[in-house]
Amino acid sequence: MRAFGNATRRNIAEACASFARLPDAAEPPKLKRAAVVLALTASDDGEGTAFLLTRRASHLRAHRGQWALPGGRCDAGETPVGAALRELDEELALKLSVDAVLGTLDDYPTRSGYLITPVVVWATDSATIRPNPDEVASVHRIALDTIERDDAFDFTAIPESTRRVIRFHHQMSLIHAPTAALIYQFREVLAGRQTRVTDLEQPVFAWK
């Protein structure tokens, strides 16, 4: 178990610093920029370290009811880190400064037209989390031990693509890319592995 405290924060910050992101494209991407947050906090038992995962509200126009990391589209002139911190505040009322940022992972291009930057942050005090009902149906703390299990992820094939579809097994649910791909890369970073995920496929229902 990774105890929630300064030693774990240092270890994860060092792992993120050792991770070499894929270089940005030479040309501005045609995809819309977005950012999500891997917000690290205390697990449900208060001892271990977890990240925050949300269930999107059922009345949203896009991807309603799906599992997701907090995040959204970057505003004009906004950096991915700035967007990630703003979205975390808007969705969960969790206000963090740039000092809480531990690192960023590879940008992930989605079938729905976004280029997502995952931002890893350390949320020391998450007791005041309040999900915004306009966007979030529920929020869950996923212990890091959960994603480090050998059977946490699997890969399957679909007839519509030659790329592998990644799936994260969470309780009785299957969580797909992009969320599963980003969590998987974070798992690999924690293990000190430079694993790429941009070639991992999303299920067809997420292509719109």
Above 50 in pLDDT, residue 30?
Answer: yes
Above 90 in pLDDT, residue 67?
Answer: no
Confidence of residue 83 (pLDDT cuts 50, 70, 90): very high
What CATH topology corresponds to 6-206?
Nucleoside Triphosphate Pyrophosphohydrolase (3.90.79)
* pLDDT average, residue stretch 75-91: 96
Distance, CA of 143 to CA of 75 (rounded, Å): 31
The full set of domain ranges for the chain reads: 6-206
pLDDT for 106:
97
Return all residues near 171 (Cβ < 8 A) that are at least 6 apart: none
Return all residues near 13 (Cβ < 8 A) that are at least 6 apart: 102, 103, 122
pLDDT for 60:
47
Q: What are phi and psi of 111, to 5 degrees?
A: -65, -20
Coil/strand/helix, residue 169: strand
Structure pTM?
0.94
Distance, CA of 12 to CA of 103 (rounded, Å): 9
Lowest mean pLDDT among 8-12, 82-86, 167-171: 167-171
CA count, 13 A, side-chain hemisphere, 30 = 3
Q: ∠ CA 143-21-69 to the nearest 5 degrees?
A: 35
Please give the mean pLDDT across all residues of the chain: 92
3-state DSSP helix/strand/coil % of the chain, to nearest 5: 25, 30, 45
